[in-house]
Amino acid sequence: MFTGLVEEVGRVLEVRPGRPTWVRIGARKVLEGTRVGDSISVSGACLTVVELFPDAFAVELAEETLRRTAPRWRAGARVNLERALKVGDRLGGHFVTGHVDGVGRVVRFDRRPGATDLFVEVPRGLEKYVAEKGSIAVDGVSLTVVSVRDRVFSVTLIPHTLEVTTLGELKVGDSVNLEVDLLARYLERLMEAR
C-alpha cells in the first residue's frame, strides 16, 4: 500500500529483456531501510525489490506487468518512486495499491500562472471509476480529479508537483499509468452483489 506521494525521481539504468525482464533503477532516498523483498512503487506499479546496490535496486517485470503498464522500461527513463507505507506513517495522499488499472493518454495541458491543468484520456471502461473531486493516481502520483467529461479527466498540478515528479516532463500523446480510487472499485463490486 502506498500514498501516491512521490519520494524521489529515479532513473532506469539497465534493462535485461527476458522472462522475467530484469530492470535496475538508480535511486537514493528509497534505498534507506529497503531490503530485498520490499515493495516500491515505480511510476505507479508496485514492484518487488530483488537486488540491492549502493545506488540502485533491481526489480523483475512479468509479462503481465509489461503488458499493463506504460512503455517506460528503457534505460534513461525517469520514474516516480515511493516506498510502501509502514504502520504509523502519515497518509497525505490517498490509498494507492500500485496495481495499474489502465494506461491513459495525455491529451492536453492548460498552463497558467501557478498551476497546470493536465487532461488525460482513460481507456474505455475505466471512465466510470473517475469522479470529480475523487482521487486518482497518475504515474503513481496521488491527485484530485478536477473535471470529467466522457473519457477525459483533468487534474491541476502545482509547481511543486511538477518539480518533484516526472509529470512535468509529459507531452501530449504520452502514456501514463492510471490507478483509480480503491473505494470506487469496491463500491461497484458491492453494488453488483446486490
The residue from 48, 53, 75, 115 that is catalytic is: 48
94 included as an active-site residue: no
The residue from 2, 57, 119, 153 that is catalytic is: 2
48 included as an active-site residue: yes
The residue from 27, 46, 58, 137 that is catalytic is: 46
The residue from 53, 62, 75, 115 that is catalytic is: 62
* 154, three cell numbers: 483533468
The residue from 3, 27, 39, 77 that is catalytic is: 39
Closest CA to 138 of 159, 114, 155, 150: 155
The residue from 53, 75, 115, 144 that is catalytic is: 144
d(CA 132, CA 152): 11
159 preceded by cis ω (within 30°)? no
* 138, three cell numbers: 497518475
43 included as an active-site residue: no
Instruction: For residue 147, count other CB atoms closer than 10 A to its CB.
Output: 14
153 included as an active-site residue: no
Instruction: Please answer whether residues 130 and 69 qualify as being in contact, where contact means their C-beta atoms are separated by less than 8 angstroms.
Output: no
The residue from 53, 75, 99, 115 that is catalytic is: 99
27 included as an active-site residue: no
Taking CA atoms, 77 is separated from 72, 108, 122, 148, 175, in Å, by 6, 22, 22, 29, 13
Catalytic residues: 2, 39, 46, 48, 62, 99, 144
